[in-house]
Structure 1
């Protein structure tokens, strides 16, 4: 063991027994007051070197050595443990890194203990340990702490350390943002005070369960919880509470992770709302309606009273969409929905189940009469003018009503009300009908007819009959009208009254109408000697349709153009008859269709004139070149009343416009003479001939006067 000469009497008395000191794992040195190393054991020499100058470097240092703290801060020599202990007489300890700038320091834990109070005779006992592992561990812990701190502060979700009384000890920035509060406002405040009042009891019970649980049991729980932010808004969260315990299992504090799920909840609520409510009007949709209706029927099955269901739709809604635009149509639907909502009683339901279709469920009604009174009150509210698209529109509803005691299911009751609505619309619209069982039988019959018609259209089970149009003064045939008949395989020849309305309702009229045009033009091609034109009735549904790109549904003008081109027939031999309502409701596409027909040479005639909406405006607003006086006027000619005056006035209108005019439904000679007297030049009716199939027509003498049959009832339905 290295020794220097004693520097004082005290130092002379202090020695380390070599055998005892060298077995110590810790480096031990005796240092005099002047910093001289008096003794050093084997462990110290291993750590510091054998030379006394190396040993002394750790005590008072050398100029070429740089002492450092574990934090990377340079330590001055007078702050080293030995210098501090000699100066103060108080033990000092520190981890010191010794090294030069170009090398990593060696880490030592140096502890200096004075053996007497500071005097000129003072001496130190200095212990030295390898602190390398300690420094590595300390730095790892510091790094971990930094990571935890950064994770806590910069986390995307709210985090808080909460004491067992529920007060916030520490909160991160995300939590402050979510609660719209400062850190100071959050700290030391019970988190429960910020919870929604309805959620507090459940939250307290869940946390109490965690705290009361035994060690080793569940330490955390996740729950949905609502809070009120600093601005008073509602905050939806997913809250995870974790109990932090000491080694014995005693709870120390709570760790809260609070994830803001408000936007997610809003999106979920919106999806749920859209699943049950109509997005345009906010009314219940069909799904929610059926659920409420089923519940109402179930309740009334065992209680007094009945459930009434109203199925309604807006009359002429398509006209509003086509003329004023879909924005105006949407506004009208919203206004009607608001009026319906305001007009029903508390506990009743109103729903939108289709484009312009609404359903009302009246609960606790005593009879159909009672339900009718409620419905009339609702309609009175709805039927008030609405200003949309720069125009005043009066919304009108047609409705079907059914009353049930809970003995039928919701779908059946709703279907019955829909059936009654169909009857109301067929009866003139802007009215309501009460469901009757016979309506259902008629509906089933329509379904049967529809199914048969679809097959008949595909197979071509139709024929055309032709009725002459004559010069009233000479009875000479100047044209024909093509009328469709259904050659039913079991029931024989059926007139249009048996099937046309079903075709209209199901859109089969488009395919059937195209066939009629094709067959009529083919008839013209087979008979070039035929006098005048052949007139074909068309449905408004055929006019203005877009070409569908290959499925077979073409615009009317395109259908006519294709048939004329295929047969070589001139368009000047064909006439198209259009109802007055069809012209009035014509869209831009429909008017383009009509203009193209006139370019093909086809004459357009207004059919059933006088029964529509606005006769004169209809004639002047479309490329119409003729009109036919409806048979309802013909039947009353000679009454010296309004019909005679109307007939005379319309004949004068036709003459002034240089148009083609025909009186329909002439059955007697008196009617012919009166028509002539009123100024009409052409007529049509059973007086001049019945509709006949092609093979029964006498075409050997073109333009001949037909045999005049006796007076008979006129055929009233045509295509």
Structure 2
């Protein structure tokens, strides 16, 4: 019964005495590839393990012979064919007749060890790239900070984000995107030192921890990262070129804990993106202040419309021939309950990025049309209400219908509404733009090209677009008296507009000298502080009624 039990056991069982095997069961024979005769005649315990562990085996055999109970321990075993596996051995002292022996078991734990290693990898390493993941990154960061604090040293954290990575996933598929991330991880690994940590935070974001480095050294690493990532990749049959934006925070000046260093490096990375991408930026306190202000502004913007915090101011558009105010430009102001009046150059970019620009732009259009009709109903002369249109607003679905709705609701005649678009807005997807402009033109709405001369207008498209007015950008007007090049540009725009039968308006007119030069050039209309700053509707009512700039006065 004992022999049958031993032979049926699915675990290796042995009896060892005097350094030789007295008994082995069939499972051990199968596990190592030797016969029972081999074990009992020529194979000893040291033949079954790698040489580096012979001393450990001798020590354990001596302890069993001395009657000391054993505990399970692991060895790297070698089969007859030379292959290796991990085994767990447990031996206990016993006697066989008068001979002290060790009775023990052998288990192949290779699969278990592989599974444990895989679990550790899943817990600590990114499944795609094999780099440390967020969990292990936090451990390494804690060690880096503790070491720097103990030794009074410095450290750097670099936050890397791949520029426009979403385009790769959207156009070529996520499998190509994954392959690209793996290729980038390999290149980044070649840049860092052994003591550094390269981790994948998630998505297309990577972190590099640089212990014991100065700001100059961190900058050198950032330059190498940008350079090595800038060479083309061959991925999935495609030749791809990508760039990165990098933000760097330094310990201890930019933070003394993990969350602060990560947050500040992230802030610096977005600053690098704002500066054109494919560059790096160090964190600064001013940057953090700007970020906090932006977050507060973004949150407040969502309540500004419902809270009636927006109002329109108006700036006169003056006919250069008569001095009469023939139109006004509507300009939005945000009357924040805590921050006071906020100018559009501060909040419009935030509104565009958060998607708030469409409802804000729609409100501006409806309110401007309502005010224009109110002035007309009051018997005031007003030919034009000019309204700026943001690029995102212009490209939104149903924009033409929205304009028609504003006119229909307020009763304003279409020819009294003038929509101002920048060159860049008009030239983006020119064929689509042409269709929208044509629809507005058929409706009777006037169209004006704002900031003319600063973009990249094609004269061929300008000829096709139903634009009725060109606005010379203020950058060409501010030095008109002293800069011959500005005078030449302004004069050229006036002559071109005249040749194309377009009205030309110069904005930013602040001096009598500028006004005189524009009159000599034959410019049609002007606006600027020389006449009036943007004013409230009540003040604009007075200006329309009094017409203080008419020459006959």
TM over 0.5: yes
Provide the secondary structure at the position in 2 that maps to 1:343: coil
Answering whether residue 391 of structure 2 is matched by residue 557 of structure 1, we say no
Indicate conservation of the 8 Å contact 1:167/1:187, yes or no: no
The equivalent residue for 1:577 is 421
Provide the secondary structure at the position in 2 that maps to 1:273: helix
Query: Unpaired runs of 5+ in structure 2?
Result: 377-381
Pairwise CA distance, 1:347: 1.9
CA distance in 2, matches of 1:610, 1:317: 33
Answering whether residue 333 of structure 2 is matched by residue 485 of structure 1, we say yes
Instruction: Write the mapping of 1:275-424 to structure 2, written as runs, cut at 5 A.
Output: 275-279=123-127, 281-303=129-151, 305-314=153-162, 337-353=185-201, 355-365=203-213, 367-382=214-229, 393=241, 395=243, 397-404=245-252, 408-421=256-269
Instruction: Write the mapping of 1:468-479 to structure 2, written as runs, cut at 5 A.
Output: 468-469=316-317
CA distance in 2, matches of 1:629, 1:335: 49
Cα distance change, pair 212–331 in 1 and its aligned pair in 2 (3 A): same
Cα distance change, pair 192–693 in 1 and its aligned pair in 2 (3 A): farther
Answering whether residue 376 of structure 2 is matched by residue 524 of structure 1, we say no
The equivalent residue for 2:379 is none
CA distance in 2, matches of 1:187, 1:299: 55
The equivalent residue for 1:26 is none
243-252 or 466-475, which moves further after superposition? 243-252
The equivalent residue for 1:258 is 108
CA distance in 2, matches of 1:464, 1:255: 88
CA distance in 2, matches of 1:336, 1:498: 37
CA distance in 1, matches of 2:38, 2:452: 85
Provide the secondary structure at the position in 1 that maps to 2:106: strand
Indicate conservation of the 8 Å contact 1:486/1:495, yes or no: yes
Provide the secondary structure at the position in 1 that maps to 2:212: strand
Indicate conservation of the 8 Å contact 1:464/1:516, yes or no: no
The equivalent residue for 1:568 is 408
Provide the secondary structure at the position in 2 that maps to 1:557: coil
Answering whether residue 529 of structure 2 is matched by residue 686 of structure 1, we say yes
Query: Unpaired runs of 5+ in structure 1?
Result: 1-140, 153-157, 545-555, 710-719
The equivalent residue for 2:510 is 667
Pairwise CA distance, 1:486: 1.4
Alignment: residue pair count: 526
Cα distance change, pair 257–340 in 1 and its aligned pair in 2 (3 A): closer
CA distance in 2, matches of 1:489, 1:433: 34
2:478 counterpart (635, 643, 661): 635
Cα distance change, pair 634–432 in 1 and its aligned pair in 2 (3 A): farther
Cα distance change, pair 229–299 in 1 and its aligned pair in 2 (3 A): same
Indicate conservation of the 8 Å contact 2:226/2:243, yes or no: no
345-354 or 291-300, which moves further after superposition? 345-354
Indicate conservation of the 8 Å contact 1:167/1:190, yes or no: no
Indicate conservation of the 8 Å contact 2:184/2:229, yes or no: yes
CA distance in 2, matches of 1:334, 1:652: 57
The equivalent residue for 1:463 is 311
Deviations 1:481-505 (A, max 9, x none): 4322111224533323454455566
Indicate conservation of the 8 Å contact 2:86/2:108, yes or no: no
Pairwise CA distance, 1:463: 1.5
CA distance in 2, matches of 1:606, 1:321: 36
CA distance in 1, matches of 2:543, 2:120: 74
Instruction: Write the mapping of 1:499-514 to structure 2, written as runs, cut at 5 A.
Output: 499-501=347-349, 503=351, 507=354, 510-511=355-356, 513-514=358-359
Pairwise CA distance, 1:442: 4.6
CA distance in 2, matches of 1:196, 1:579: 76
Indicate conservation of the 8 Å contact 1:576/1:604, yes or no: yes
160-169 or 651-660, which moves further after superposition? 651-660
The equivalent residue for 1:548 is none
CA distance in 2, matches of 1:186, 1:681: 113
Cα distance change, pair 392–255 in 1 and its aligned pair in 2 (3 A): closer
- Between the two structures, name the one with larger relative contact order (CA 8 Å, sep ≥ 6): 2
Deviations 1:662-711 (A, max 9, x none): 5443334554565677786565433454333344433997xx996559xx
CA distance in 1, matches of 2:128, 2:256: 31
Indicate conservation of the 8 Å contact 1:300/1:406, yes or no: no
Pairwise CA distance, 1:201: 6.6
Cα distance change, pair 184–483 in 1 and its aligned pair in 2 (3 A): farther
Cα distance change, pair 186–361 in 1 and its aligned pair in 2 (3 A): farther
Indicate conservation of the 8 Å contact 2:187/2:229, yes or no: yes
The equivalent residue for 1:160 is 12
CA distance in 2, matches of 1:451, 1:205: 70
CA distance in 1, matches of 2:188, 2:131: 10
Provide the secondary structure at the position in 2 that maps to 1:692: coil
Pairwise CA distance, 1:364: 2.4
RMSD: 5.6
CA distance in 1, matches of 2:44, 2:512: 103
Q: TM-score, normalising length from structure 2?
A: 0.69
The equivalent residue for 1:24 is none
Q: TM-score, normalising length from structure 1?
A: 0.56
Indicate conservation of the 8 Å contact 1:307/1:405, yes or no: no
| Structure richer in helix, relative to its length | 2
Deviations 1:238-260 (A, max 9, x none): x4757697898976854434355
Provide the secondary structure at the position in 2 that maps to 1:291: helix
Cα distance change, pair 274–459 in 1 and its aligned pair in 2 (3 A): farther
Indicate conservation of the 8 Å contact 2:247/2:267, yes or no: no
Pairwise CA distance, 1:411: 2.6
Instruction: Write the mapping of 1:87-102 to structure 2, written as runs, cut at 5 A.
Output: none
Indicate conservation of the 8 Å contact 1:557/1:594, yes or no: no
